[in-house]
Structure formats: C-alpha cells, structure tokens
A = this chain, B = another copy of it.
Amino acid sequence: MKANCTNPEWIGRSKCAVCDVRNFVLFAGLSVDELNAILQPIDNLHVPQHSVLYEQGEPAPNLFTVRSGLIKLKVDLSNGCQRIVRLLRPGDVAGMETLVGERYHHTAIALQTADVCRIPRDVVIRLDQTNSRVHQALLRRWQNSVDQADHFITALSTGPAEARMARLLITLGCTGDQPEAMPTREDMGALLGITTETASRIMAEFRRRGLIQTDRGGELVCDHAGLALLANG
C-alpha cells in the first residue's frame, strides 16, 4: 500500500480536487479552497488484491473512502469461520465506526485491487462539525451502511442458496465487469452463509442452465432476467 498524496513529488494533491468520485464521497460539499486546506493529512493508497486494509479489533485512527476496486468487510466468528457483512464499492466509506468508537469492527480486505483515500478520523470529525454539507454526506453514508447491511440480511441470508446466489450475482451487477470482479467461491460462501462446495455447485449449475457464461475475455455474462426469476422464486 503505497502512499501518494502526502508525497511532495506526487501530483495527486491537485488531482484530488478533480477526483472522479469526489462528488459521491464525503467532501462533495467543499470548495476547492476548503479542500486544499484539509488535504494535507490525506493519503491516497493503492491496495493490491487480497491485502488487508485494517483488522478487526485494531485501534482505528483512520477511515477510508473507496475510489476504485472492491473491498470486503468480514467478521471472524467464534467457531473459526468468517462471514462477509458488506461489500464496499467506489464512493463507499470504510471504518466509519472510528468516528464514535476506538476500534474497527471488521477486517477490511481488497477483493479487487483498490484505490482508497485514508483520512484521519480527526479531520473528518472536525469537518463534520464545521461544514454542514460534509455532515449531511456523512449521515447519508451511514444510512448507506445500514441499508446495505439490511440487504445482506434480506437478500443474501434469506431463502434457499440458489435464490441467494442469484441475488448476489444481480447485486454484483456482473455484466461488463473485468474478470477479477467476481469473488472466489469461498468468498461467495462467506457472503451467503453457505459452504464453498455449495457455492461451486450452484455456479456450475447456473452455467449448465445458461444463466451465466464466461466470455472469451474471461468476463462473466449473466442472464439478468433469468436470475431475477430465481431471486424472486
């Protein structure tokens, strides 16, 4: 994870002002001047696939905004298994618990190579108190986390495994993604609360039924309508 923004040679600081995802993330309400004022302590990190952003139970000095890639938040269970409780995509924020607590509640791991901004909690707390639009954005992000958690309960943890898998594929919006966009069978299991083997069997069955196809580029093409049918059945 290489830091960029605080490196003087890096042109990222000016880039930050025109960041594609800036409008979707926390600092949407800030002027360029305001932005520059608080940019100093913010690092832009490149997170390779499978590397750990932070660990459950660690002291939590920073939160992270996702610029690109895919981050999974997982929880280690008492019996040694683990469960993925959220997937973070560009525009999402990780580690918000840092604003009201001391430690991270999950372990954050890059499912795909990701590009994130690391923001010290103090910066966000200060901005939250001084800028009402940042504050509003923060509330919205928080609600977003709740909504996604609800989705994991109602869509990915309810009903037969086949329907859950269909909903997962729909959630991932599998069409047009790069090959590595798809999580491993093991991750699918951790997402849906089923075993790796069952995940594999269902995916194989989907392929046989023509619901999914691996393009010659390695990409996965889904029959959205067919999956939606399974998801509701």
Contacts and interface: CB of A to CB of B under 8 A. Distances in A.
B142 A143 contact: yes
Interface residue tally on A, bucketed by range: 35 or more
Interface stretch (A3-11, A18-26, A148-156, A218-226): A148-156
A154 B83 contact: yes
B99 A153 contact: no
Nearest to A136: B100
Contacts of A132: 129
A105 B149 CA distance: 12
Tallying the copies of this chain within the complex gives 2
A145 to B, nearest CB: 5
Contacts of A193: 157-159
Contacts of A77: 154, 158-159
Contact of A146 (B129, B145, B158): B145
B142 A146 contact: yes
Contacts of A83: 153-154, 158
A161 B154 CA distance: 17
Given A81-B159, A97-B143, A157-B193, 6 more contacts: A78-B232, A85-B154, A97-B146, A99-B143, A101-B143, A129-B132
Contact of A153 (B97, B139, B147, B149): B149
A143 B85 contact: no
Q: Which of A75, A83, A153, A193 has the most CB of B within 10 A?
A: A153
A95 to B, nearest CB: 11
Interface string A73-91: 0010111010101000000
